[in-house]
């Protein structure tokens, strides 16, 4: 050790250069790693991958929910699939095509025609084992497999469950890759009792049973019980949208021309329950909804599912109108 301390000065300079060379090499390696990690983070899409499945032609709120979802920067909108609603008294023999046409109109008016619009099944499931296969169910399967491992596909069902249930029947290997968010049935929180006599549920009861019975499926329900509290008035809709052109006028026209068949109340259409907007807002802003875990109905496979039990109505409404300013 003593000899090293007393090295002649030329050797000391060489040692200094050697040390500097190693330090510089380490710095270059570290810098390369940092740049690589940064590039990887930029390439990875951190948005929530979503497919909206909607019976858009059935009512009014689907349109508002779709536009809200497309406008949400946290969402990676992979596609919007059309759903049937054959039990409506106003139903034709091609309800899925009616929903498809409105979906096309919405994206055209929003200048978002690059978003895929696969056509869903026009009929519900006939049995609990055979899918009602369609471009929509094929699309759900393909997107579930296309996403990187560990990144689930969020399928948000605003109407009948036909398309997503069919996708599960077609390819059960996607079950672990899905997060299904369903708007349907009524639920009593205190007693954990379910009422499946609800419009969305009634349009494909077998499909609903598949979602409830499929073990390992991540399922979250926005019940009619909870979403019924999100109500828009015609006065506020007019204040935000009237005579604004484009999608705004399309909203107004839909509200004014759609005839509600399920109630004789409010014949002047002064208000509307925005069932579907509630589930989109809860996904975009999870802090605006309280979610609890419950056992499935007694008649179903006993497993745990998530249910939205309360929503912040006023902040959801404010957030919705703010989001529309961005489109």
What local confidence, expressed as pLDDT, does residue 17 receive?
Answer: 55
What local confidence, expressed as pLDDT, does residue 44 receive?
Answer: 63
Mean pLDDT of 154-163: 98
Tell me: pLDDT of 1 over 50. Answer: no
What local confidence, expressed as pLDDT, does residue 2 receive?
Answer: 43
Tell me: pLDDT of 120 over 90. Answer: yes
Neighbours of 63 (CB within 10 A): 24
pLDDT digits (tens, 9 = 90+) for 285-296: 999 999 999 999
Residues 53, 83 contacting (CB under 8 angstroms): yes
Helix (H) or strand (E) holding 271: strand 271-273
**What secondary structure letter does DSSP report for 296?**
P
Tell me: pLDDT of 308 over 80. Answer: yes
Tell me: pLDDT of 15 over 90. Answer: no
What local confidence, expressed as pLDDT, does residue 3 receive?
Answer: 44
pLDDT digits (tens, 9 = 90+) for 16-75: 455 555 566 555 555 655 555 544 444 467 899 999 999 999 999 999 999 999 999 999
**C-alpha dist (Å) from residue 11 to 2, 8, 23, 25, 304:** 15, 6, 18, 21, 72
What local confidence, expressed as pLDDT, does residue 261 receive?
Answer: 74
CATH homologous superfamily of 49-324 equals Ribonucleoside hydrolase-like (3.90.245.10)
What local confidence, expressed as pLDDT, does residue 316 receive?
Answer: 98
Q: What span, in angstroms and rounded, lies between the C-alpha atoms of 53 and 76?
A: 15
pLDDT digits (tens, 9 = 90+) for 259-284: 887 677 888 889 999 999 999 999 99
Tell me: pLDDT of 116 over 70. Answer: yes
Nearest CA-CA partner of 305 in 323, 319, 316, 291: 291
pLDDT digits (tens, 9 = 90+) for 201-217: 999 999 999 999 999 99
pLDDT digits (tens, 9 = 90+) for 175-211: 999 999 999 999 999 999 999 999 999 999 999 999 9
What local confidence, expressed as pLDDT, does residue 27 receive?
Answer: 55
Hey, where are the domains in the chain? 2-43, 49-324
The two three-digit tokens of residue 145, written as one number: 């497999």
Q: What percent of the chain has pLDDT over 90?
A: 81
Mean pLDDT of 143-171: 97
Q: State the pTM of this model.
A: 0.86
């Amino acid at each position: 050790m003593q000899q090293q301390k007393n090295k002649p000065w030329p050797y000391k300079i060489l040692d200094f250069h050697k040390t500097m060379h190693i330090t510089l090499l380490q710095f270059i390696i570290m810098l390369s790693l940092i740049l690589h990690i940064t590039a990887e983070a930029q390439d990875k899409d951190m948005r929530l991958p979503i497919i909206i499945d909607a019976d858009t032609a059935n009512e009014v709120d689907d349109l508002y929910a779709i536009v809200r979802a497309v406008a949400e920067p946290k969402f990676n909108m992979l596609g919007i699939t059309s759903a049937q609603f054959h039990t409506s008294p106003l139903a034709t023999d091609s309800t899925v095509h009616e929903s498809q046409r409105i979906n096309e109109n919405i994206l055209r008016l929003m200048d978002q025609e690059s978003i895929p619009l696969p056509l869903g099944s026009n009929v519900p499931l006939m049995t609990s084992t055979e899918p009602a296969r369609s471009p929509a169910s094929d699309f759900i399967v393909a997107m579930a497999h296309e996403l990187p491992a560990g990144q689930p596909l969020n399928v948000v069902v605003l109407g009948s469950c036909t398309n997503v249930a069919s996708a599960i029947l077609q390819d059960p290997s996607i079950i672990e890759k899905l997060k299904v968010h369903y708007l349907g049935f009524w639920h009593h929180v205190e007693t954990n009792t379910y009422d499946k006599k609800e419009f969305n549920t009634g349009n494909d009861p077998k499909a609903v049973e598949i979602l409830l019975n499929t073990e390992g499926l991540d399922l979250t329900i926005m019940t009619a019980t909870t979403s019924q509290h999100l109500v828009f008035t015609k006065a506020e809709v007019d204040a935000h949208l009237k005579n604004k052109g484009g999608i705004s006028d399309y909203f107004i026209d839909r509200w004014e021309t759609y005839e509600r068949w399920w109630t004789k109340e409010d014949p002047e259409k002064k208000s509307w329950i925005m069932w579907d907007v509630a589930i989109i807002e809860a996904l975009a802003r999870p802090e605006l909804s309280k979610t609890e875990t419950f056992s499935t109905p007694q008649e179903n496979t006993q497993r745990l599912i998530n249910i939205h039990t309360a929503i912040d109505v006023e902040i959801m409404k404010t957030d919705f109108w703010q989001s529309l300013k961005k489109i």
